[in-house]
Amino acid sequence: MAADEFGPIPDQEVYEASLVCAIIEEYRDDRPYPSVLVLGRTQQNRALHVVCAYAPDEDQLIVITVYEPDPNRWDQEFRQRRKP
């Protein structure tokens, strides 16, 4: 998060983007837990993608990675990858 190409992503922004988010991709075969890619927005309207998984045994959400989506690689709403 500190080295994101569009600038550092503070923990507070990850929290804000995670409060209201939408699943845009599912990775059901990920191990040890299935994961999802969600799109959320910070209070400053910064779009963030968060890959996370839910560990039911610990009742815990695990954040795997966070990044600001590249507008050259994603559609205008950051919900679908652009075709090469």
Enumerate the domain spans of the chain. 1-84
Task: Please tell me the distance from the alpha carbon of residue 56 to that of residue 9, in angstroms, as a whole number.
Answer: 27
What is the helix (H) or strand (E) element at residue 10, kind and residue range? none
User: What pLDDT score was predicted for residue 5?
Assistant: 73
User: What pLDDT score was predicted for residue 15?
Assistant: 94
Average pLDDT over residues 16-36: 96
User: What pLDDT score was predicted for residue 74?
Assistant: 97
User: What pLDDT score was predicted for residue 8?
Assistant: 87
Strands annotated E in the chain: 21-27, 35-41, 47-55, 60-67
The predicted-structure confidence for 30-77, as pLDDT tens digits, reads as follows 999 999 999 999 999 999 999 999 999 999 999 999 999 999 999 999
Are 37 and 23 in contact, with CB atoms under 8 Å apart? yes
- Encoded tokens for 33: 């837990």
User: What pLDDT score was predicted for residue 2?
Assistant: 67
